[in-house]
Amino acid sequence: MSNDTTLVLGATGKTGRRVAARLRLHGTPVRAASRTSPTRFDWSDPGSWDAALKDVAVAYVVAPNVPGPVHEFVARAEAAGVRRLVLLSGRGADTWGDSTFGLDMRSAEDAVRGSTLEWTVLRPSNFAQNFDEDVFHAPLVAGELALPAGAVPEPFIDIEDVADAAAAVLSEPGRHAGRVYELTGPRALTFGEAVELISRASGRPLAYRRISPAEYAAKLVGEGVSEDDAHHVAEMFVLMERGLISATTDDVATVLGRAPRTFEDYAARAAAAGAWQR
Ligand SMILES: NC(=O)c1ccc[n+]([C@@H]2O[C@H](COP(=O)([O-])OP(=O)(O)OC[C@H]3O[C@@H](n4cnc5c(N)ncnc54)[C@H](OP(=O)(O)O)[C@@H]3O)[C@@H](O)[C@H]2O)c1
Protein backbone atom coordinates (compact mmCIF):
# COMPACT_ATOMS: atom_id res chain seq x y z
CA MET A 1 0.00 0.00 0.00
CA SER A 2 1.32 3.46 -0.86
CA ASN A 3 2.40 5.58 2.05
CA ASP A 4 3.49 8.76 0.31
CA THR A 5 0.53 10.93 1.30
CA THR A 6 1.02 14.35 2.85
CA LEU A 7 -1.53 15.12 5.54
CA VAL A 8 -2.42 18.81 5.65
CA LEU A 9 -4.13 19.84 8.88
CA GLY A 10 -6.01 23.15 9.06
CA ALA A 11 -6.69 22.51 5.37
CA THR A 12 -9.50 25.06 5.11
CA GLY A 13 -7.41 27.74 6.85
CA LYS A 14 -5.25 30.53 5.51
CA THR A 15 -2.02 28.53 5.28
CA GLY A 16 -3.39 24.99 4.92
CA ARG A 17 -5.42 25.63 1.80
CA ARG A 18 -2.45 27.33 0.12
CA VAL A 19 -0.05 24.58 1.16
CA ALA A 20 -2.40 21.87 -0.13
CA ALA A 21 -2.76 23.60 -3.51
CA ARG A 22 1.01 23.92 -3.93
CA LEU A 23 1.60 20.26 -3.06
CA ARG A 24 -1.08 19.06 -5.49
CA LEU A 25 0.52 21.08 -8.28
CA HIS A 26 3.82 19.45 -7.34
CA GLY A 27 2.17 16.04 -7.86
CA THR A 28 2.11 15.11 -4.18
CA PRO A 29 -0.87 13.07 -2.92
CA VAL A 30 -2.57 15.35 -0.37
CA ARG A 31 -5.03 14.49 2.38
CA ALA A 32 -6.79 17.72 3.36
CA ALA A 33 -8.07 17.51 6.92
CA SER A 34 -9.95 19.66 9.42
CA ARG A 35 -13.37 19.59 11.09
CA THR A 36 -15.08 20.54 7.80
CA SER A 37 -12.62 19.07 5.25
CA PRO A 38 -13.16 15.90 3.17
CA THR A 39 -11.13 14.05 5.82
CA ARG A 40 -12.59 14.96 9.18
CA PHE A 41 -9.96 15.78 11.80
CA ASP A 42 -10.86 17.40 15.11
CA TRP A 43 -8.25 18.20 17.75
CA SER A 44 -10.92 17.71 20.43
CA ASP A 45 -11.85 14.24 19.12
CA PRO A 46 -8.80 11.90 19.12
CA GLY A 47 -11.06 9.24 17.59
CA SER A 48 -10.81 11.16 14.31
CA TRP A 49 -7.00 11.14 14.17
CA ASP A 50 -5.98 7.58 13.13
CA ALA A 51 -7.94 7.52 9.87
CA ALA A 52 -6.35 10.85 8.93
CA LEU A 53 -2.87 9.46 9.67
CA LYS A 54 -3.23 6.21 7.68
CA ASP A 55 -0.54 5.83 4.95
CA VAL A 56 0.81 9.29 5.65
CA ALA A 57 4.52 10.02 5.06
CA VAL A 58 4.58 13.69 6.04
CA ALA A 59 2.22 15.88 8.05
CA TYR A 60 1.75 19.66 8.04
CA VAL A 61 0.55 20.39 11.57
CA VAL A 62 -1.53 23.46 12.42
CA ALA A 63 -1.77 23.13 16.18
CA PRO A 64 -4.84 23.74 18.33
CA ASN A 65 -4.95 26.87 20.54
CA VAL A 66 -4.85 24.84 23.73
CA PRO A 67 -1.70 23.19 25.10
CA GLY A 68 -1.53 19.39 25.16
CA PRO A 69 -3.09 17.45 22.27
CA VAL A 70 -0.07 17.56 19.95
CA HIS A 71 1.84 15.19 22.27
CA GLU A 72 -0.76 12.44 21.78
CA PHE A 73 -1.00 13.27 18.07
CA VAL A 74 2.76 12.82 17.65
CA ALA A 75 2.61 9.44 19.42
CA ARG A 76 -0.17 8.36 17.04
CA ALA A 77 1.83 9.63 14.05
CA GLU A 78 4.87 7.62 15.16
CA ALA A 79 2.72 4.51 15.56
CA ALA A 80 1.15 5.04 12.13
CA GLY A 81 4.55 5.12 10.38
CA VAL A 82 4.65 8.83 9.58
CA ARG A 83 8.21 9.86 8.74
CA ARG A 84 8.25 13.67 8.97
CA LEU A 85 6.38 16.46 10.74
CA VAL A 86 6.31 20.16 9.80
CA LEU A 87 4.77 22.32 12.52
CA LEU A 88 3.30 25.77 11.98
CA SER A 89 4.23 27.61 15.17
CA GLY A 90 4.69 31.35 15.60
CA ARG A 91 7.48 33.87 16.00
CA GLY A 92 8.77 34.17 19.52
CA ALA A 93 7.38 30.86 20.74
CA ASP A 94 10.33 30.53 23.10
CA THR A 95 10.48 34.16 24.28
CA TRP A 96 6.90 34.81 25.30
CA GLY A 97 7.08 33.33 28.76
CA ASP A 98 3.99 31.84 30.33
CA SER A 99 1.45 33.80 28.29
CA THR A 100 -1.42 31.68 26.94
CA PHE A 101 -0.01 32.14 23.47
CA GLY A 102 3.51 31.09 24.51
CA LEU A 103 2.22 28.02 26.34
CA ASP A 104 0.15 26.78 23.36
CA MET A 105 2.98 27.18 20.91
CA ARG A 106 5.66 25.78 23.19
CA SER A 107 3.55 22.74 24.02
CA ALA A 108 3.13 21.96 20.29
CA GLU A 109 6.81 22.62 19.59
CA ASP A 110 7.93 20.44 22.51
CA ALA A 111 5.78 17.59 21.22
CA VAL A 112 7.17 17.79 17.70
CA ARG A 113 10.77 18.43 18.73
CA GLY A 114 10.65 15.54 21.21
CA SER A 115 9.44 13.05 18.62
CA THR A 116 11.51 10.31 17.00
CA LEU A 117 10.43 11.60 13.56
CA GLU A 118 12.23 14.06 11.32
CA TRP A 119 10.78 17.46 12.22
CA THR A 120 10.89 21.10 11.17
CA VAL A 121 9.28 24.06 12.94
CA LEU A 122 8.07 27.16 11.07
CA ARG A 123 7.72 30.31 13.15
CA PRO A 124 6.20 33.05 11.00
CA SER A 125 5.69 36.65 12.06
CA ASN A 126 2.20 38.16 11.91
CA PHE A 127 0.64 37.48 8.54
CA ALA A 128 0.06 40.40 6.15
CA GLN A 129 -3.20 38.65 5.26
CA ASN A 130 -4.58 39.36 8.75
CA PHE A 131 -5.50 42.72 7.15
CA ASP A 132 -7.75 41.21 4.47
CA GLU A 133 -8.58 37.62 5.50
CA ASP A 134 -8.74 37.82 9.26
CA VAL A 135 -9.34 40.02 12.33
CA PHE A 136 -8.12 43.35 10.94
CA HIS A 137 -10.27 43.18 7.80
CA ALA A 138 -13.70 44.31 9.04
CA PRO A 139 -12.37 47.36 10.95
CA LEU A 140 -10.44 48.48 7.86
CA VAL A 141 -13.49 48.15 5.62
CA ALA A 142 -15.31 50.29 8.21
CA GLY A 143 -12.50 52.88 7.93
CA GLU A 144 -10.42 52.56 11.09
CA LEU A 145 -8.19 49.96 12.70
CA ALA A 146 -7.60 50.46 16.44
CA LEU A 147 -5.03 48.25 18.19
CA PRO A 148 -2.79 48.32 21.28
CA ALA A 149 0.32 48.71 19.11
CA GLY A 150 2.47 51.81 18.72
CA ALA A 151 6.06 52.44 17.67
CA VAL A 152 7.38 48.86 17.81
CA PRO A 153 7.42 47.58 14.23
CA GLU A 154 6.36 44.13 13.04
CA PRO A 155 8.03 42.31 10.09
CA PHE A 156 4.70 41.15 8.61
CA ILE A 157 5.12 38.12 6.37
CA ASP A 158 3.10 37.49 3.23
CA ILE A 159 1.25 34.23 3.79
CA GLU A 160 2.12 33.20 0.23
CA ASP A 161 5.74 33.06 1.45
CA VAL A 162 4.70 30.99 4.48
CA ALA A 163 2.95 28.57 2.12
CA ASP A 164 5.91 28.51 -0.30
CA ALA A 165 8.26 27.77 2.60
CA ALA A 166 5.98 25.09 4.07
CA ALA A 167 5.53 23.39 0.68
CA ALA A 168 9.30 23.42 0.10
CA VAL A 169 10.03 21.96 3.53
CA LEU A 170 7.30 19.32 3.11
CA SER A 171 8.74 18.35 -0.28
CA GLU A 172 12.44 18.17 0.65
CA PRO A 173 13.20 15.27 3.02
CA GLY A 174 16.43 15.61 4.98
CA ARG A 175 17.27 19.18 4.04
CA HIS A 176 15.33 20.84 6.87
CA ALA A 177 15.61 18.19 9.57
CA GLY A 178 15.76 19.64 13.09
CA ARG A 179 15.54 23.23 11.83
CA VAL A 180 13.47 26.05 13.35
CA TYR A 181 12.80 28.75 10.77
CA GLU A 182 11.80 32.25 11.92
CA LEU A 183 9.97 33.47 8.82
CA THR A 184 9.64 37.25 8.43
CA GLY A 185 8.96 39.79 5.75
CA PRO A 186 11.84 41.89 4.38
CA ARG A 187 11.10 44.99 6.50
CA ALA A 188 9.40 45.74 9.81
CA LEU A 189 6.51 48.24 9.73
CA THR A 190 4.43 49.75 12.50
CA PHE A 191 0.70 49.02 12.30
CA GLY A 192 0.23 52.70 11.48
CA GLU A 193 2.61 52.39 8.51
CA ALA A 194 0.92 49.20 7.33
CA VAL A 195 -2.51 50.88 7.39
CA GLU A 196 -1.06 53.90 5.56
CA LEU A 197 0.20 51.60 2.76
CA ILE A 198 -3.17 49.85 2.57
CA SER A 199 -4.93 53.23 2.46
CA ARG A 200 -2.73 54.36 -0.44
CA ALA A 201 -3.08 51.08 -2.36
CA SER A 202 -6.85 50.96 -1.91
CA GLY A 203 -7.46 54.68 -2.54
CA ARG A 204 -9.55 54.89 0.65
CA PRO A 205 -8.87 57.19 3.64
CA LEU A 206 -8.17 54.53 6.29
CA ALA A 207 -7.08 55.50 9.80
CA TYR A 208 -4.99 53.78 12.45
CA ARG A 209 -5.50 54.55 16.16
CA ARG A 210 -3.55 53.24 19.15
CA ILE A 211 -5.67 52.07 22.08
CA SER A 212 -4.83 50.35 25.38
CA PRO A 213 -4.84 46.54 25.70
CA ALA A 214 -7.85 46.79 28.06
CA GLU A 215 -9.79 48.91 25.55
CA TYR A 216 -8.95 46.44 22.82
CA ALA A 217 -10.07 43.42 24.87
CA ALA A 218 -13.35 45.21 25.72
CA LYS A 219 -13.87 46.05 22.05
CA LEU A 220 -13.40 42.41 21.03
CA VAL A 221 -15.86 41.24 23.69
CA GLY A 222 -18.34 43.82 22.33
CA GLU A 223 -17.89 42.21 18.91
CA GLY A 224 -18.83 38.80 20.32
CA VAL A 225 -15.38 37.36 21.09
CA SER A 226 -15.24 35.40 24.37
CA GLU A 227 -13.57 37.07 27.39
CA ASP A 228 -10.81 34.45 27.29
CA ASP A 229 -10.04 34.84 23.60
CA ALA A 230 -10.16 38.64 23.84
CA HIS A 231 -7.67 38.57 26.72
CA HIS A 232 -5.48 36.13 24.77
CA VAL A 233 -5.32 38.40 21.69
CA ALA A 234 -4.75 41.59 23.72
CA GLU A 235 -1.96 39.83 25.61
CA MET A 236 -0.27 39.04 22.30
CA PHE A 237 0.04 42.77 21.58
CA VAL A 238 1.51 43.47 25.02
CA LEU A 239 4.17 40.89 24.27
CA MET A 240 4.81 42.31 20.80
CA GLU A 241 5.31 45.78 22.32
CA ARG A 242 8.38 44.42 24.12
CA GLY A 243 10.09 44.33 20.73
CA LEU A 244 11.32 40.73 21.08
CA ILE A 245 10.03 39.70 17.66
CA SER A 246 10.40 42.90 15.66
CA ALA A 247 13.66 42.07 13.85
CA THR A 248 13.74 40.58 10.36
CA THR A 249 15.55 37.31 9.57
CA ASP A 250 17.01 35.71 6.42
CA ASP A 251 15.12 32.44 6.91
CA VAL A 252 12.73 32.85 3.94
CA ALA A 253 15.80 33.18 1.69
CA THR A 254 17.44 30.21 3.43
CA VAL A 255 14.45 28.00 2.59
CA LEU A 256 13.41 29.45 -0.77
CA GLY A 257 16.60 30.96 -2.18
CA ARG A 258 14.90 34.32 -2.74
CA ALA A 259 13.85 37.37 -0.76
CA PRO A 260 10.43 37.49 0.90
CA ARG A 261 7.59 39.44 -0.74
CA THR A 262 7.17 43.06 0.41
CA PHE A 263 4.15 44.46 2.25
CA GLU A 264 3.67 46.84 -0.69
CA ASP A 265 3.36 43.85 -3.03
CA TYR A 266 0.74 42.33 -0.71
CA ALA A 267 -1.20 45.61 -0.39
CA ALA A 268 -1.25 46.10 -4.17
CA ARG A 269 -2.53 42.55 -4.81
CA ALA A 270 -5.21 42.65 -2.12
CA ALA A 271 -6.33 46.17 -3.12
CA ALA A 272 -6.58 45.07 -6.77
CA ALA A 273 -8.82 42.21 -5.62
CA GLY A 274 -11.08 44.78 -3.91
CA ALA A 275 -10.26 43.64 -0.37
CA TRP A 276 -10.90 46.95 1.38
CA GLN A 277 -13.80 48.36 -0.64
CA ARG A 278 -17.09 48.88 1.18
N1 LIG B 1 -2.39 34.92 11.97
C2 LIG B 1 -1.10 35.15 12.16
O3 LIG B 1 -0.61 36.27 11.97
C4 LIG B 1 -0.21 34.02 12.60
C5 LIG B 1 1.18 34.24 12.67
C6 LIG B 1 2.01 33.19 13.07
C7 LIG B 1 1.47 31.95 13.39
N8 LIG B 1 0.11 31.77 13.31
C9 LIG B 1 -0.45 30.48 13.67
O10 LIG B 1 -1.18 29.99 12.58
C11 LIG B 1 -2.12 29.02 13.08
C12 LIG B 1 -3.41 29.18 12.29
O13 LIG B 1 -3.13 28.80 10.95
P14 LIG B 1 -3.94 29.38 9.74
O15 LIG B 1 -3.94 30.87 9.82
O16 LIG B 1 -3.43 28.71 8.54
O17 LIG B 1 -5.40 28.84 10.05
P18 LIG B 1 -6.74 29.66 10.17
O19 LIG B 1 -6.96 30.47 8.94
O20 LIG B 1 -6.74 30.35 11.50
O21 LIG B 1 -7.79 28.48 10.20
C22 LIG B 1 -7.80 27.50 11.24
C23 LIG B 1 -7.79 26.11 10.62
O24 LIG B 1 -7.82 25.14 11.66
C25 LIG B 1 -8.98 24.31 11.52
N26 LIG B 1 -9.47 24.04 12.85
C27 LIG B 1 -10.03 24.90 13.74
N28 LIG B 1 -10.39 24.25 14.87
C29 LIG B 1 -10.04 22.95 14.68
C30 LIG B 1 -10.16 21.77 15.49
N31 LIG B 1 -10.72 21.78 16.72
N32 LIG B 1 -9.68 20.61 14.99
C33 LIG B 1 -9.13 20.56 13.76
N34 LIG B 1 -9.00 21.62 12.94
C35 LIG B 1 -9.45 22.81 13.41
C36 LIG B 1 -9.94 25.12 10.68
O37 LIG B 1 -10.78 24.31 9.86
P38 LIG B 1 -12.21 23.74 10.32
O39 LIG B 1 -13.01 24.90 10.79
O40 LIG B 1 -12.72 23.07 9.08
O41 LIG B 1 -11.91 22.75 11.41
C42 LIG B 1 -8.99 25.87 9.74
O43 LIG B 1 -8.63 25.03 8.66
C44 LIG B 1 -2.27 29.29 14.57
O45 LIG B 1 -1.64 28.22 15.25
C46 LIG B 1 -1.48 30.56 14.79
O47 LIG B 1 -0.85 30.59 16.04
C48 LIG B 1 -0.72 32.78 12.92
Asked, for residue 255, whether it belongs to a domain, the answer is: yes
Asked, for residue 227, whether it belongs to a domain, the answer is: no
Is the distance from the beta carbon of residue 88 to the nearest atom of ligand 1 less than 6 Å?
yes
Is the distance from the beta carbon of residue 171 to the nearest atom of ligand 1 less than 6 Å?
no
pLDDT score recorded for residue 46: 97
Is the distance from the beta carbon of residue 213 to the nearest atom of ligand 1 less than 6 Å?
no
Asked, for residue 35, whether it belongs to a domain, the answer is: yes
Closest Cα to atom 34 of ligand 1: 34
**Dist CA 22 CA 8 (whole Å):** 11
Instruction: Choose one of 34, 40, 61, 189 to mutate for the ligand 1 pocket test, by most ligand atoms within 8 angstroms of C-beta.
Output: 34
Instruction: Choose one of 19, 30, 35 to mutate for the ligand 1 pocket test, by most ligand atoms within 8 angstroms of C-beta.
Output: 35
Asked, for residue 221, whether it belongs to a domain, the answer is: no
Q: Which residues contact 80 (CB under 8 A, 6 or more apart)?
A: 50, 53, 54, 56
- For the chain, the domain total comes to 1
Is the distance from the beta carbon of residue 100 to the nearest atom of ligand 1 less than 6 Å?
no
The CATH number for 13's domain is 3.40.50.720
Is the distance from the beta carbon of residue 155 to the nearest atom of ligand 1 less than 6 Å?
no
Is the distance from the beta carbon of residue 184 to the nearest atom of ligand 1 less than 6 Å?
no
Asked, for residue 268, whether it belongs to a domain, the answer is: no
| Cβ proximity of 184 and 251 under 8 Å | yes
Tell me how far the alpha carbon of residue 62 lies from the centroid of ligand 1, in angstroms.
6
Is the distance from the beta carbon of residue 87 to the nearest atom of ligand 1 less than 6 Å?
no
Is the distance from the beta carbon of residue 107 to the nearest atom of ligand 1 less than 6 Å?
no
- E strands within 63-161? 84-88, 118-124, 144-147
Is the distance from the beta carbon of residue 2 to the nearest atom of ligand 1 less than 6 Å?
no
Tell me how far the alpha carbon of residue 10 lies from the centroid of ligand 1, in angstroms.
6
For 68-84, write each residue's pLDDT tens digit: 999 999 999 999 999 99
Asked, for residue 171, whether it belongs to a domain, the answer is: yes
Phi/psi of residue 53, each to 5°? Answer: -90, -10
Is the distance from the beta carbon of residue 124 to the nearest atom of ligand 1 less than 6 Å?
yes
Is the distance from the beta carbon of residue 38 to the nearest atom of ligand 1 less than 6 Å?
no
pLDDT score recorded for residue 110: 96
Asked, for residue 277, whether it belongs to a domain, the answer is: no
Intervals of the chain under pLDDT 50: 1
Asked, for residue 147, whether it belongs to a domain, the answer is: no
At residue 197, what is the residue type? L
Structural domain containing residue 61? 5-125+159-184+246-260
Sign of CA dihedral 82, 18, 106, 47: negative
37-44 contacts at long range (C-beta below 8 A, 24 or more positions apart) = 37/11, 37/12, 41/9, 43/69, 43/73, 44/69
CA proximity to 127, closest of 156, 164, 98: 156
Closest Cα to atom 21 of ligand 1: 13
